[in-house]
Structure 1
Amino acid sequence: MKRRDFFKTAAVCTAASALPTAFAQETHKENDPMHQIPLASSPGTRKGDMLYRTLGRTGENVSAIGMGGFHIAKHGLTDEQSIALVRSAIDRGITFMDNSWDYNEGQSEILMGKALKDGYRQKVFLMTKIDGRTKETAERQIETSLERLQTDHIDLVQHHEIIRFDDPDRIFAESGAMEACLAAKKAGKIRYIGFTGHKDPHIHLYMLKVAAEHGFHFDTVQMPLNVMDAHFRSFAQMVLPELVKQDIGVLGMKSMGDGVILKSKTVSPIECLHYALSLPTSVVITGIEKQEILDQAFEAAKTFQPMNRDQIAQLLAKTKEVAVAGKYELFKTSSHFDSTAKHPDWLGGDSPTVQKLAPPST
């Protein structure tokens, strides 16, 4: 064999032998659960130091960073400081306001209602949540929220803490909470309907299934999306693809797990926010209780560039060892964040059907 032919044959053999390895690597990537996590197709529209994205198929344009309502009523803040903080966030470009009927025994809604006076209500997309699972309880909570927030309508009301498999059934049952929400929407008191939960992605998927069986399409879904989630009972892997498929607005929460994730000392606050923003989230809701945290949120938005899959993989590799058992995602593995478990009366009683089939014992 001539020397030239020898090298040509050797090159072909080498290339051929490499094919199975390359094919195996590509197949491995496709089968890797991390590879199934959808990524944002666009960073959003930048205006000043804030990014804006579309809220699912509602068409609403909202800030990519949302202001968490729980933290504005934390101990140590005066009413004046809380109001000033909310207004500062709005003045700088945050338009998505998060809240809940049960936050701080209603004080969070009361403070936000005060902050949204003097024309600020017209500048924001206002969301709150209700805990009631029955029509009667949900109606009462919606009316209370409207009063506290000092508004004639709430842009988005979400069923809060869908953390039990019976929650969807109770909400969609006869005389369930969904009837109250639909009636409030018809009356112009609320514009959109969603749900939240932090415990298990299977429960989120079941909620979507029950909704579909009743011919209902949620406008938004809120869930934990953070650098630990991908390794343990993952909402990003299991629920996020379905929300993208259905064009449901994705509200990310617990990007830092109320600071617990940062205690792992594996990631920084900016990395946490950049990861959540790199997913197809409409809004990443983050707790803000002081000016430095507000500045941090704007720094994250200002410096954000969508992460590619290699960058995502590198970041998740940093958290894998400490994340696999859910140690730092206490909202999944403990009752620490389960306010409705501590206050079951907030949910209301059983539906009329249940009471008829199994009357309460006297």
Structure 2
Amino acid sequence: MALYKSKKVYGVIFMQYRTLGKTGLKVSVIGFGTIKFPQISEKQASEAINRALDLGINFIDTARNYGDSEHKIGIAIKERRDECYIATKTSSRSYEGAMKDLEASLRELQTDHIDLWQLHNVCDMQKWREVTAPGGALEAARQAKEEGKVDHIGISFHRALDVMREAIKCGEFETIMVLYNPLDEENTGREIIPLAHKHNVGVIVMKPLSGGTLALSLSDEEREEKHRSSNGEWFDPIVRGCLRYVISNPAVSTVIPGMRFTWEVEENVKAADMPPMTEEEKDALIREIGKLRKTYKYSQECLRCGYCLKVCPQNIQIPEVFRAVYVYKGYPEETRHMGIEIYKALDPSPEECIECRSCVEECPAGIDIPERLKEAVEFFKQVIGKP
């Protein structure tokens, strides 16, 4: 996947562009993930996207089930549609459901075509068979492409290596979206991404910061203040390191960190203007990450993606429950109290879980959430009960 000539922006940032596999699209190595857009206003979303476009980002990723993300993107890009590629997704497994999603996406995004339409989180072989069978979502994607409503077809997954291999080799998909970061690279980094590269399938990387886990422990307000007070010079070394780590892999076409604010865009885009990481820098990054968390392993730790929140009938803030445990167990002793404070602030309490297991079906990391919630409750009963 060729590296295209960088674009100089405002005499400061050089954005790199790579070919997105067999699509032929020249995409910015730093893209824009919008899963967090439901948390911000239309005005904030427009400001962030327009700043991203100004700084050379030309790839914006969303999904039908990212709340009002598509709607906010549609408003933001209305006058600049020709400056960016829009990628969205359908979680439907059927032809009818996928077509319904497509029409909704076109309407919300205020566009007559989707540059890249992806089948969302095809998480196991059963789902793979559903989407690829006659009357499945892939049939809808083929038809939409023939009709000019979709330019290119992709697929995303969080795990399921067997599905990834099938998707890459079958020839139907022009792109894949996979999880890849310094602590989640042993399968995607060593096997899946090289395999995609071999078959000229474009690689889009999500979760470069593991859903925000791989970052210094600072609030949004603290980050913004540091950014502004330093005239944009301050940066989170973990965040920048993870982004550089991902794009240092030449087989990666683009990485899509979730962003909400202009200062995040300004900070993240600078990773594209740096040389590939050396092995020494990669080792140093791992050591720094180790100071944040003592243990971390994909499929064992919450990715804070928020999928469970959409289906919990009790409105339990599941990622925050797990975050409280991680903070207490993983942070230095003098800051462990933060975990207790996070737990005490939870409303409703995780004790209100009714074990319906709807969350388990949605969890891309395969966590037995009800069981882990019970463990968290018992853990903090013991911790808080100590003098």
Q: TM-score range by the shorter chain?
A: 0.7 to 0.9
SS at structure 1 position matched to 2:142: helix
- Look up the equivalent residue of 2:96 and give its one-letter code: E
SS at structure 1 position matched to 2:257: strand
Q: Are residues 264 and 226 of structure 1, via their aligned partners in 2, closer, same or farther at CA, if it must alter by over 3 Å? A: farther
TM-score normalised over the length of structure 2: 0.68
In the aligned structure 2, how far is the partner of 1:88 from the partner of 1:158? 25
SS at structure 2 position matched to 1:326: coil
Match of 2:41 among 78, 81, 96: 78
Match of 2:206 among 225, 245, 253: 253
In the aligned structure 2, how far is the partner of 1:256 from the partner of 1:282? 17
Using the TM superposition, give the Cα deviation of residue 292 of structure 1 relative to its aligned residue in structure 2, in angstroms: 1.7
- Look up the equivalent residue of 2:56 and give its one-letter code: G
Partner of 1:110: 71
Give yes or no for contact 1:278–1:307 (8 Å, CA) kept in 2: yes
- Look up the equivalent residue of 1:205 and give its one-letter code: R
Partner of 1:224: 179
TM-score normalised over the length of structure 1: 0.73
Using the TM superposition, give the Cα deviation of residue 311 of structure 1 relative to its aligned residue in structure 2, in angstroms: 4.0
Q: Are residues 121 and 343 of structure 1, via their aligned partners in 2, closer, same or farther at CA, if it must alter by over 3 Å? A: farther
Partner of 1:235: 188
Using the TM superposition, give the Cα deviation of residue 43 of structure 1 relative to its aligned residue in structure 2, in angstroms: 6.1
Partner of 1:284: 255
Partner of 2:52: 89
Q: Which has the higher helix share?
A: 1
Aligned ranges for residues 9-24 of structure 1 at < 5 Å?
none
- Look up the equivalent residue of 1:144 and give its one-letter code: A
Aligned ranges for residues 1-362 of structure 1 at < 5 Å?
44-48=4-8, 49=13, 50-74=15-39, 77-104=40-67, 107-118=68-79, 120-208=80-168, 212=170, 216-231=171-186, 234-262=187-215, 268-279=238-249, 280-302=251-273, 304-316=274-286, 319=289, 322=294, 325-326=297-298, 330-331=302-303, 337=307, 342=359
Using the TM superposition, give the Cα deviation of residue 179 of structure 1 relative to its aligned residue in structure 2, in angstroms: 0.7
- Look up the equivalent residue of 1:330 and give its one-letter code: C
Q: Which runs of 5+ in 2 are unaligned?
A: 219-235, 312-357, 363-387
In the aligned structure 2, how far is the partner of 1:78 from the partner of 1:186? 36
Using the TM superposition, give the Cα deviation of residue 238 of structure 1 relative to its aligned residue in structure 2, in angstroms: 2.3
SS at structure 2 position matched to 1:112: helix
- Look up the equivalent residue of 1:66 and give its one-letter code: G
- Look up the equivalent residue of 1:251 and give its one-letter code: I
In the aligned structure 2, how far is the partner of 1:281 from the partner of 1:311? 19
Q: Are residues 267 and 91 of structure 1, via their aligned partners in 2, closer, same or farther at CA, if it must alter by over 3 Å? A: closer
In the aligned structure 1, how far is the partner of 2:295 from the partner of 2:184? 8
Decide which structure has the larger Cα Rg and report it: 1
In the aligned structure 2, how far is the partner of 1:324 from the partner of 1:115? 37
Report the count of equivalent residues.
290
In the aligned structure 2, how far is the partner of 1:327 from the partner of 1:165? 17
Using the TM superposition, give the Cα deviation of residue 264 of structure 1 relative to its aligned residue in structure 2, in angstroms: 8.6
Using the TM superposition, give the Cα deviation of residue 147 of structure 1 relative to its aligned residue in structure 2, in angstroms: 0.7
Give yes or no for contact 1:261–1:329 (8 Å, CA) kept in 2: no
Give yes or no for contact 2:31–2:61 (8 Å, CA) kept in 1: yes
Give yes or no for contact 1:146–1:154 (8 Å, CA) kept in 2: yes
- Look up the equivalent residue of 2:152 and give its one-letter code: Y
Q: Are residues 258 and 139 of structure 1, via their aligned partners in 2, closer, same or farther at CA, if it must alter by over 3 Å? A: same
Q: Are residues 90 and 335 of structure 1, via their aligned partners in 2, closer, same or farther at CA, if it must alter by over 3 Å? A: closer
Give the share of equivalent positions with the same residue, in percent.
29
Q: Are residues 177 and 324 of structure 1, via their aligned partners in 2, closer, same or farther at CA, if it must alter by over 3 Å? A: same
Q: Are residues 166 and 322 of structure 1, via their aligned partners in 2, closer, same or farther at CA, if it must alter by over 3 Å? A: farther
In the aligned structure 1, how far is the partner of 2:300 from the partner of 2:46? 31
In the aligned structure 2, how far is the partner of 1:222 from the partner of 1:101? 16
